Structure formats: C-alpha cells, structure tokens
Amino acid sequence: MQAVIDACSAQKIDATVALVISNNSSSGALRRAALANVQHQHISSKTHGDDNGADNAMLKACQGQQIDLILLLGYMKKLGPQTLAAFGGKILNTHPALLPKFGGQGFFGRKVHEAVIAAGEVESGASVHFVDTDYDTGPILAQVKVTVSPTDDAQTLEKRVKDAEKELLVTTLRELAAQYAQT
C-alpha cells in the first residue's frame, strides 16, 4: 500500500488513493493512511455486527468515495457478495507467488515462501490478479519472476519477492490508469 501511496504522490501513477479500509483496527495500513492524509476506516464484523454488515459498510464507503478500483493489499478476508457484485472486474489483489502455484486459503506471507523452498522451486515471483469469490483464483493480470537461490531461506526470498511485487503493482496500476484515461 505504501508503494501505491508513494507512486501516486510522486505522480508515477495518474491516480489518487481515496480510501483505505482495514478489517484490523491496529493495522499498519490505517496508520500509513493517516500519515499520508488518506481517508481511512476500520470495517469488520466486530464493528458492523456480522460479515453482512461489514460487506454493506464497505460497499457504501467505496461508493461514497466514488472508487474506480479496489486493491486488496494485505486485506486477509474474502470480500462480501455485495462488494464483489458492485465492483466485479475492478478489484485487484497481489500475491507473493506465481499463481496458480502456492495460492489459496492459508497461503499468505512467509508461508508462501516456505512452501516454495520446501517444494524445491527454482523460481517464484509475484502476481497481480482480479479478485473473484475464492482466494487467489481470479484471472491473472500480470506476473514477475524471481529466481530462487540455493542459499535462500524464506526470509531472503520474501524480501526479494516483496520488492518485485511492489514494482509490479506500481507498473500495472500505471498501465491501468492510462487505460482508464483513454475511456
């Protein structure tokens, strides 16, 4: 998220981060949004009664800000059916592996890199994909490959993949913003 805020601020992406939502009230995303003077909100089943209430609140918040594109950057829950229906084809996620490998429920953060190394893979990478109703199954928009070194552990691989993932996301968003500007 910080890479996107920085790229928009530096005008590397012709876009604005309009709203940051987290289901975790103490998330770094909310703190970073506050520091960048970006509107932010904690929405969860705890704050809004249940998953349905949280879905409705998220939908209203995004519609209220006239959001064109939703990015799930560290958002660890499935989106609700109302938000998915209203923003279908306009929700992106990043994943720290070359999907469809090492994706799905339970594959997040360092767990992905541990699995890549345990499988003896010689390359990993990052993916930007559209979000659908299941974890990491939507159409892939862009990927970048990262070589797995024989000396890598999960931590060293994770750092290189994160760096590549940030760059991939900014490049992909820059291209999407240019496409939106033409329509």
**3-class secondary structure, 159:** helix
Catalytic, out of 40, 42, 95, 129: 95
For the question of residue 42 being annotated catalytic, the response is no
82: Cβ contacts below 8 Å, ≥ 6 apart: 55, 56, 59
Q: What span, in angstroms and rounded, lies between the C-alpha atoms of 40 and 27?
A: 11
Catalytic sites, residue numbers: 95
